[in-house]
Amino acid sequence: MIKVKNISKEFDGSPILKGISTFFEKGKTNLIIGQSGSGKTVFLKCLLGLFETNSGQIFFENSPINLMTTKERTVLRQEIGMVFQGSALFDSMTVEENIMFPMQMFTKKDDDEVRERANQAIKRVNLINANEKYPDEISGGMKKRVAIARSIVMNPKYLFCDEPNSGLDPKTAILIDNLIQEITEEYNITTVINTHDMNSVMEIGEKIVFLLNGKKAWEGSNKDIFNTDNEAVSNFVYSSDLFKKVRKMYLEKK
């Protein structure tokens, strides 16, 4: 579980995050949603420790990240898997080498064991015949799968995803969403996903935190979002006519 207590972050005097408090549960897909510029990516990078917060605390299983020593942080980071928006695969390495990389860096396993574990991860994300290919030789959806495989290969306790289905067609986006949800349940990890994809919200949003201008404006689940009377979140989630109709039908049926 990750707990966030009243964190704030500013850049050059302008506040980006304003006193956010929330928690992300283990074994659930937790979503951070909000408009572009609402502070989602900064929030995620604060959780990852890539940005230092100006105030407040972030707890990973009751250990505050800002009070951790460099060594403790290094250990924590080895328990974190991250899927970046652009996948962030290493260009100079093949798919298999990309997935083997974290194990080569942090384990004492021999090459055969590392390769075997990497291939298990490759199989888990349903990547076929891509081991020897370089990132620029595979599609966007495959890149995301490689990034997910790389992030789970060390059996992380926490999985962070920054817009995992941006730039993907709707079918592939749903496949990636489902894959992340399956992995979350299977590995019993705390997953935090940064997204503004409404399909993801409806499909896998077991816990949703809505940010507006750097503040937490609403939180709940994908079921709560149909009944919410919070105008800001309704305007954001049901901005398209299709979703407005879906909500209307759902409420009428109820």
Partner 1 sequence: MRVISNIGKYFLMLQNVFGKFTKWKVLRQLIFKDIESLIIGSLGIVSFISFFVGGVVSIQTALNLENPFLPKDLIGFATRQSIILEFAPTFISIIMAGKVGSYITSSIGTMKVTEQIDALEVMGINTYNYLIFPKIIALLLYPLVICISMFLGIFGGYIACVYGGFSTSGEFIQGIQLDFTPFHVTYAFIKTAFFSFILATIPSFHGYFMTGGALEVGKASTVSFVWTSVVIILLNYLITQLLLT
CB of 141 to partner 1, least distance (A): 18
CB of 38 to partner 1, least distance (A): 20
Nearer to partner 1, 82 or 121 (CB): 82
* Nearest partner of 5 among 73, 13, 17, judged by Cα: 17
Nearer to partner 1, 75 or 249 (CB): 75
Nearer to partner 1, 164 or 205 (CB): 164
CB of 31 to partner 1, least distance (A): 19
CB of 1 to partner 1, least distance (A): 19
Q: Going along the chain, which residue ranges are E strands? A: 2-11, 14-24, 29-34, 55-60, 63-64, 80-83, 158-162, 190-195, 207-212, 215-220
Nearer to partner 1, 70 or 129 (CB): 70
> Beta-carbon neighbour count of residue 129 at 10 Å?
7
CB of 102 to partner 1, least distance (A): 6
Give the pairing type, strands 55-60 and 63-64.
antiparallel
Six token digits for residue 137: 């030789």
What gap in Å lies between CA 34 and CA 214, rounded to an integer?
A: 9
CB 232 within 8 A of CB 212: yes
Nearer to partner 1, 47 or 201 (CB): 47
**Which residues, including other chains, have CB under 8 Å from residue 199's CB and lie 6 or more apart?**
170, 173, 174, 177
Nearer to partner 1, 21 or 74 (CB): 74
CB 210 within 8 A of CB 31: no
Which chain residues interact with partner 1 by CB under 8 A? 48, 50, 70, 73-78, 80, 82, 84-86, 88-92, 102, 104-106, 160
| Per-residue CA distances from 32 to 77, 118, 209 (Å) | 21, 29, 5
CB of 138 to partner 1, least distance (A): 15
Nearer to partner 1, 90 or 250 (CB): 90
**Which residues, including other chains, have CB under 8 Å from residue 180's CB and lie 6 or more apart?**
29, 83, 148, 159, 161, 164, 191, 193, 204
CB of 88 to partner 1, least distance (A): 4
